[in-house]
């Protein structure tokens, strides 16, 4: 006889007993918690030290009257749009998107085909007319999926540091390297 049928019956019996205990336990109205369980008070704001993330506005449609300027920058191959969302007369929101095809029309004006959603956003939070990265006014959207909440503050401070000295090379000691014999054709 094989022990497997008995093992299956034993496992099913244990499962049935466990299920019955849970069913009986769930209906007991006078259940007292175990002495090992301690109530825990939850902080209403567990992450109060984290600053709230800035909610970026949705980029207005093409030819929106709030659009002040739109231009193609050939140096970094990006298309920029500048907006006045508050009606103050100055640029207070800007986007940049990658381009994948650019050509000149018959008048010499660049025609730019871009990716659907921006990769960079700038918003003037303090209203001083400047986009200041150190104040958290520049964001990047690595997924380029529009304003969905996954945008991150952009920090390019590592790009602003001067380049290091680079690798240093020292010739090996004289005993490890032998000069080839002198050939008068090469000017020795």
Strands 93-104 and 78-83: antiparallel
**147-175 pLDDT per residue, tens:** 998 999 988 776 667 767 777 777 666 66
Which letter does DSSP use for residue 6 in this model? Answer: H
Q: What is the pLDDT of residue 182?
A: 78
32, burial (CB in 10 Å: exposed 0-12, middle 13-18, buried 19+): exposed
pLDDT at position 103 is 92
With 80 as the cut, is the pLDDT of residue 52 above it? no
Q: pLDDT tens across 22-41, in order?
A: 444 445 555 555 555 555 55
pLDDT at residue 84 greater than cutoff 90: yes
* Residue 118 pLDDT > 90: yes
Per-residue confidence band for 135, with pLDDT thresholds at 50, 70 and 90: confident
Strands (E), 33-92: 67-73, 78-83
Tokens found for residue 173: 């000691």
**Distance between alpha carbon 181 and the CA centroid of its chain, in Å?**
59
- Specify the pLDDT at position 181: 73
What's the distance, CA 184 to chain centroid?
A: 63
The per-residue pLDDT of the chain, averaged, comes to 77
Predicted local distance difference test score (pLDDT) of residue 127: 87
Cα 151 from Cα 99, distance rounded (Å):
20
> In the predicted model, is pLDDT for residue 65 greater than 60?
yes
pLDDT at 102 over 60: yes
Which pair of structure tokens corresponds to residue 90?
Answer: 């100055």
**Whether the predicted pLDDT of 20 surpasses 60:** no
- Whether residue 66 contacts residue 85, with contact meaning beta carbons closer than 8 Å, is answered with yes
């Amino acid at each position: 006889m094989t022990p497997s049928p008995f093992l299956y019956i034993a496992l099913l019996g244990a499962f049935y007993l466990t299920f019955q205990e849970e069913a009986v336990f769930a209906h007991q109205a006078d259940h007292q918690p175990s002495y090992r369980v301690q109530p825990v008070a939850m902080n209403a704001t567990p992450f109060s030290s984290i600053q709230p993330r800035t909610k970026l506005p949705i980029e207005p449609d093409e030819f929106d009257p709030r659009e002040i300027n739109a231009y193609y920058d050939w140096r970094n191959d990006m298309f920029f749009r500048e907006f006045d969302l508050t009606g103050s007369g100055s640029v207070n929101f800007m986007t940049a998107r990658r381009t994948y095809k650019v050509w000149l029309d018959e008048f010499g004006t660049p025609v730019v085909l871009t990716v659907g959603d921006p990769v960079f956003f700038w918003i003037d939070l303090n209203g001083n007319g400047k986009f200041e990265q150190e104040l958290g006014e520049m964001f990047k959207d690595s997924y380029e999926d529009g304003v969905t909440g996954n945008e991150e503050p952009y920090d390019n401070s590592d790009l602003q540091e001067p380049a290091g000295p680079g690798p240093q090379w020292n010739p090996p000691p004289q005993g490890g390297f032998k000069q080839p014999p002198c050939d008068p054709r090469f000017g020795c």
